[in-house]
C-alpha cells in the first residue's frame, strides 16, 4: 500500500504516454527533417559560395592578365622606339587604362627613367631593393607581392616586364577594383561575405575596407590553412563567431578568395523551421493532453474513484453505498462489467458476512463454555501439581536415606571381605584335615586287605613246615635203601610203606600243592594292593595325561576293596571309553569320594552299579547306589562345603564339595539324581580333550 504513493496517477501516466509516444516521436522526426534540410542547404550554400568565388577568381585573373597585356604592349613600344615615343605611348596608355596608378621605365640599374604620371620628385629613384624585382624572367611579366600604395592607400602590385635592351617597364596595378567587386557582391546578395587575401594572408579586399588599408593579415583563419594543406575546413572561427566558408586559389599569384557566411545566419532559417515544428508538436501534445484530461477524468478517474470510495465503505462494513454504483457513468463495457462485478461481489460479501456473524456468535458461546471447563481442569491440575511436588520432596529425602544405607553397606562389604579372607584360611585348614581323614580311612582299608592274605599265607606256611618234616623222614628212609644189603630191602620197603600210611602220603601230596597255590595267590593279592595303592596315591602329580578312566576306577575300587565289599556288591557295567585327558590322581579322588559316599548311603547290604560311556567329546561315569537317597530339600546344597548328612564326627562334609571343585576344574560337571529311600545316581561328565584355558 505504501508503494501506491510513489506511483503516478492515471492522468499523468496517460500524459506521459502521449508525450513519449506522440510528442517526442514528432519532435524527433522534425529534428531529423531539419537536419536533413540543413545538410542539403549546406551543400547548396557551398555550391553557391563556390560559384561566387570562382567568378571572382576569374575577375582577378582577368584583371592581372589585362594589366599584363597592356604592360607587354608598353614594353614592345619601349623596345621598338625611342624615349619620346614611349613617353607619349605611356601617357596615352595610362590615361586610357585607369588601373595602372603609375608606369615606370627603369634602366638596367633599376633607376627610374620614365614615370607616368610625371613625378619629378621620383625621377631617378633607385628601385633595385624593392622585393620581387629581381627574379623576373625575360619576356614574361612578373607580379610582386601586394603592398599598400603610399599614394592611393589601395592594395597594389608591381607588374614588371623586362626589356630586351635592358631595364624594364613596371606598372603599379591598382587592386582597388577587387574591393569594388566585393562591395557589389556584398550589397547584391546580402548574404555573401567575400574577401581576398594575398599569398601571406594579408587582405586585398574585404567588406570592411579599413582592414585592407591597415594590412590586416588573416593567415590564422582555418580556411587559409585548409587551402594550404588541402584539408577541407568548411567551418572555422572568424573573430568571435563560427563561419561556414568556401575558397578558391588564384593560380597565378596564390591569392585566396573566400566566401563565408556566419553559421548563426545559416542556422537561423533552420532554427525557425525547427521552432515551428517544435511548437506544432507542442500544440498537438497540449491539445491532446487537454482533451484527454477531461475525458479521462469523466470516463476513467471519476468512476474509478467512486469504485474506490465504495470499496472503502465496503471495507468499513457499510453495504448501503453499493447501490450508488449503478449511477456510475460507465461509457464502456469493461467499466460497467467492473461495476456489476463489484455489486455482485458486494452482495455475496454481505451474505457471507451475515453468516459469519452468526457463526461467530455461536463460537463465542462455545469458547466461553470451553474456557470455564478449562478453568476447572486448570485448578485440578494445580492441585495435582502440588501433590506431585510433595511426593517429589519425599522421594528426595528417601534418596538421601538410601544413600546413607549404601554407605553403610559399603562399610559392611569391607567387613565381609575381611571375614571372607578369614574363612578362606579356615577352609584350607579344614581341607587339610579332611585329607588326613581320607588317608586314615584309606590306610585302615589297606591294612585290612593286606592282613587277610598274610594271615592265611602264614598258617599255610606252618602246615607246610609239618608236611615237609614228615616228607623229609620218608626221604631219609629212601636214602637208607642205597646203603642196605639187598636182603634187608624187603623189610625196609615194608617199613617205608608203613610210614607212608602213617602220614597219609596221598593226601599230603594233594594238600601241599593246594597250600602252595593258595599262598602264591595271597602273595599276588598283596602285590596288587600295593601296586594299586601306589597308583591311587600318585599325590603331587598334577600333570594332564591321557588316562584310561576304567583303570582308575578299578584301582580305586581295589584300594577301597574291603570298605565297599563289607556293605555292597559292586557291579561294573562298563561301556567303551576313550582315553581322557585329565589329572588321574584328582579324578581317582573324585571316584573314591563318590564311592565312599555311595557306600555310606547304604544301610545294611546294598549294591553299587558303575556304568560308563562316551559322546563325541565327553566321557561319563555314573555311580548308582540303592541307599537311603538324598532328601529333595538337601539336593541343592550337597556340593556346598561342610554340608553333611552324616552324624557329627563321621566326616566334615567336604567330600562332594572337593569332587565338585575337581570336576569343575576339569571343565566337566557332576549331576545328581536321587529319590529318598531308593538311592542316588551321581554322573560325572568330563570333556575328552582338556581345554587349556587355565
User: Where on the chain is the footprint of another protein (CB under 8 A)?
Assistant: 7-8, 12-13, 15-17, 19-20, 109-111, 120-121, 123-131, 145, 148, 150, 153, 198-202, 210, 213-215, 217, 219-220, 240, 264, 274, 334
State the Cα–Cα distance between residues 112 and 99, nearest whole angstrom: 20
User: What are the φ and ψ backbone dihedral angles of 621, each rounded to 5 degrees?
Assistant: -135, 125
C-alpha cell at 578: 576313550
Cell numbers 584310561 correspond to 548
Minimum distance from residue 375 beta carbon to another protein (Å): 54
Minimum distance from residue 126 beta carbon to another protein (Å): 3
Q: By C-beta, is 145 or 448 nearer to another protein?
A: 145
Instruction: Give the neighbor-by-neighbor strand order of the sheet with 679-687.
Output: 568-573, 606-614, 618-625, 679-687, 669-675
Q: For residue 38, what are the contacts with CB-CB under 8 A and spacing of at least 6?
A: 266, 267, 270
Minimum distance from residue 320 beta carbon to another protein (Å): 30
Q: For residue 448, what are the contacts with CB-CB under 8 A and spacing of at least 6?
A: 562
Cβ of 346: how many Cβ atoms within 10 Å? 19
Minimum distance from residue 8 beta carbon to another protein (Å): 5
Three-state SS for 207?
A: coil
Q: By C-beta, is 225 or 350 nearer to another protein?
A: 225
Sign, Cα dihedral of 221, 224, 230, 234: positive
State the Cα–Cα distance between residues 660 and 655, nearest whole angstrom: 9
Minimum distance from residue 275 beta carbon to another protein (Å): 9
Contact 644, 657 (CB under 8 A): no
C-alpha cell at 633: 530339600
Cell numbers 613625378 correspond to 119
Q: By C-beta, is 145 or 528 nearer to another protein?
A: 145
State the Cα–Cα distance between residues 623 and 592, nearest whole angstrom: 11
Minimum distance from residue 242 beta carbon to another protein (Å): 9
User: What are the φ and ψ backbone dihedral angles of 595, each rounded to 5 degrees?
Assistant: -65, -40
CA–centroid distance for 86 within its chain: 116
Q: By C-beta, is 193 or 224 nearer to another protein?
A: 224
Minimum distance from residue 261 beta carbon to another protein (Å): 16
Q: By C-beta, is 111 or 343 nearer to another protein?
A: 111
C-alpha cell at 627: 541307599
Q: By C-beta, is 263 or 595 nearer to another protein?
A: 263
User: CA Rg, the chain, in Å?
Assistant: 85
CA–centroid distance for 58 within its chain: 90
Q: For residue 538, what are the contacts with CB-CB under 8 A and spacing of at least 6?
A: 584, 585
Q: By C-beta, is 166 or 440 nearer to another protein?
A: 166
Minimum distance from residue 20 beta carbon to another protein (Å): 6
Pairing assessment for the beta strands 606-614 and 193-197 based on DSSP bridges: unpaired
Minimum distance from residue 95 beta carbon to another protein (Å): 22
Q: By C-beta, is 264 or 393 nearer to another protein?
A: 264
Q: By C-beta, is 239 or 486 nearer to another protein?
A: 239
Q: By C-beta, is 81 or 220 nearer to another protein?
A: 220
Q: By C-beta, is 106 or 621 nearer to another protein?
A: 106
Q: By C-beta, is 41 or 201 nearer to another protein?
A: 201
Q: By C-beta, is 264 or 541 nearer to another protein?
A: 264
Helices (H), 481-504: 489-503
Minimum distance from residue 13 beta carbon to another protein (Å): 5
Cβ of 587: how many Cβ atoms within 10 Å? 24
Q: By C-beta, is 241 or 617 nearer to another protein?
A: 241
Minimum distance from residue 179 beta carbon to another protein (Å): 14
Minimum distance from residue 259 beta carbon to another protein (Å): 22
State the Cα–Cα distance between residues 544 and 536, nearest whole angstrom: 16
State the Cα–Cα distance between residues 306 and 201, nearest whole angstrom: 80
Q: For residue 642, what are the contacts with CB-CB under 8 A and spacing of at least 6?
A: 430, 652, 653, 654, 657
Minimum distance from residue 340 beta carbon to another protein (Å): 18
Q: By C-beta, is 11 or 565 nearer to another protein?
A: 11
Q: Which of 596, 603, 595 is nearest to 621 (CA)?
A: 595
C-alpha cell at 255: 591569392
Cis status, amide bond into 593, omega within 30 of 0: no
Q: Which of 251, 259, 254, 258 is nearest to 58 (CA)?
A: 251
State the Cα–Cα distance between residues 357 and 351, nearest whole angstrom: 10
Distance linking the first and last C-alpha atoms of the chain: 91
Amino acid at each position: 500500500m505504501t508503494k501506491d504513493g510513489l506511483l503516478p496517477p492515471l492522468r499523468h501516466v496517460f500524459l506521459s504516454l502521449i508525450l513519449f509516444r506522440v510528442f517526442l516521436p514528432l519532435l524527433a522526426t522534425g529534428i531529423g527533417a531539419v537536419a536533413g534540410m540543413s545538410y542539403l542547404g549546406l551543400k547548396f550554400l557551398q555550391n553557391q559560395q563556390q560559384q561566387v568565388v570562382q567568378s571572382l577568381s576569374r575577375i582577378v585573373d582577368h584583371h592581372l592578365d589585362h594589366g599584363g597585356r597592356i604592360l607587354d604592349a608598353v614594353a614592345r613600344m619601349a623596345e621598338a622606339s625611342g624615349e619620346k615615343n614611349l613617353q607619349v605611348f605611356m601617357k596615352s596608355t595610362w590615361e586610357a587604362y585607369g588601373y595602372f596608378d603609375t608606369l615606370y621605365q627603369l634602366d638596367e640599374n633599376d633607376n627610374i627613367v620614365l614615370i607616368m604620371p610625371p613625378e619629378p620628385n621620383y625621377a631617378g629613384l633607385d628601385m633595385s631593393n624593392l622585393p620581387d624585382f629581381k627574379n623576373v624572367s625575360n619576356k614574361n611579366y612578373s607580379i610582386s607581392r601586394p603592398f599598400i600604395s603610399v599614394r592611393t592607400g589601395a592594395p597594389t602590385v608591381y607588374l614588371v616586364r623586362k626589356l630586351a635592351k635592358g631595364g624594364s617597364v613596371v606598372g603599379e596595378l591598382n587592386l582597388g577594383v577587387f574591393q569594388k567587386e566585393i562591395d557589389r557582391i556584398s550589397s547584391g546578395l546580402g548574404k555573401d561575405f567575400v574577401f581576398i587575401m594575398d599569398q601571406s594572408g594579408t587582405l586585398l579586399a574585404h567588406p570592411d575596407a579599413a582592414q585592407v588599408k591597415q594590412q590586416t593579415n588573416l593567415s590564422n583563419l582555418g580556411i587559409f590553412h585548409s587551402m594550404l594543406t588541402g584539408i577541407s575546413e568548411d567551418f572555422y572561427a572568424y573573430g568571435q563567431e563560427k563561419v561556414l566558408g568556401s575558397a578558391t586559389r588564384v593560380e597565378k599569384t596564390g591569392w585566396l578568395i573566400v566566401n563565408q557566411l556566419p553559421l548563426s545566419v545559416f542556422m537561423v532559417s533552420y532554427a525557425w523551421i525547427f521552432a515551428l515544428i517544435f511548437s506544432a508538436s507542442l500544440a498537438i501534445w497540449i491539445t491532446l493532453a487537454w482533451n484527454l484530461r477531461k475525458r479521462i477524468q469523466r470516463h476513467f478517474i471519476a468512476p474509478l474513484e467512486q469504485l474506490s470510495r465504495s470499496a472503502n465503505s465496503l471495507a468499513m462494513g457499510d453495504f448501503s453505498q453499493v447501490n450508488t454504483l449503478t449511477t456510475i457513468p460507465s461509457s464502456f463495457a469493461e467499466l460497467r462489467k467492473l461495476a456489476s462485478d463489484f455489486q455482485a461481489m458486494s452482495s455475496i460479501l454481505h451474505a457471507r458476512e451475515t453468516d459469519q456473524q452468526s457463526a461467530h456468535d455461536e463460537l463465542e458461546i462455545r469458547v466461553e463454555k470451553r474456557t470455564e471447563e478449562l478453568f476447572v481442569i486448570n485448578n485440578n491440575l494445580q492441585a495435582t501439581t502440588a501433590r506431585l511436588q510433595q511426593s517429589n520432596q519425599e522421594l528426595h529425602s528417601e534418596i538421601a536415606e538410601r544413600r546413607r544405607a549404601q554407605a553403610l553397606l559399603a562399610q559392611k562389604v569391607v567387613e565381609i571381605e575381611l571375614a571372607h579372607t578369614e574363612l578362606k584360611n579356615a577352609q584350607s585348614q579344614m581341607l587339610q584335615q579332611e585329607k588326613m581323614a581320607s588317608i586314615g580311612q584309606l590306610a585302615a582299608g589297606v591294612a585290612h586287605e593286606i592282613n587277610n592274605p598274610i594271615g592265611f599265607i602264614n598258617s599255610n606256611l606252618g602246615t607246610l613246615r609239618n608236611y615237609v618234616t614228615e616228607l623229609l623222614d620218608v626221604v631219609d628212609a629212601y636214602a637208607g635203601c642205597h646203603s642196605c644189603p639187598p636182603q634187608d630191602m624187603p623189610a625196609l620197603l615194608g617199613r617205608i610203606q608203613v610210614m607212608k600210611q602213617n602220614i597219609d602220603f596221598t593226601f599230603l601230596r594233594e594238600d601241599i600243592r593246594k597250600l602252595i597255590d593258595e599262598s602264591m595267590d595271597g602273595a599276588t593279592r598283596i602285590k596288587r594292593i600295593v601296586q594299586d595303592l601306589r597308583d591311587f596315591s600318585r599325590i603331587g602329580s598334577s600333570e594332564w595325561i591321557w588316562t584310561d578312566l576304567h583303570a582308575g576306577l578299578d584301582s580305586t575300587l581295589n584300594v577301597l576293596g574291603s570298605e565297599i565289599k563289607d556293605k555292597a556288591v559292586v557291579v561294573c557295567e562298563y561301556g567303551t571309553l576313550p582315553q581322557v585327558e585329565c589329572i588321574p590322581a584328582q579324578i581317582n579322588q573324585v571316584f573314591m569320594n563318590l564311592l565312599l559316599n555311595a557306600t555310606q548311603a547304604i544301610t545294611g547290604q546294598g549294591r553299587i552299579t558303575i556304568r560308563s560311556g562316551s559322546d563325541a567329546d565327553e566321557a561319563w561315569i555314573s555311580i548308582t547306589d540303592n541307599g537311603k537317597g538324598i532328601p529333595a530339600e538337601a539336593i541343592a546344597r550337597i556340593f556346598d562345603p561342610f554340608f553333611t548328612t552324616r552324624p557329627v564326627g563321621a566326616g566334615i562334609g567336604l567330600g562332594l564339595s572337593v569332587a565338585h571343585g575337581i570336576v569343575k576344574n576339569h571343565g566337566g560337571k557332576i549331576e545328581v539324581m536321587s529319590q529318598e529311600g531308593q538311592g542316588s545316581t551321581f554322573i560325572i561328565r568330563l570333556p575328552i580333550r582338556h581345554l587349556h584355558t587355565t
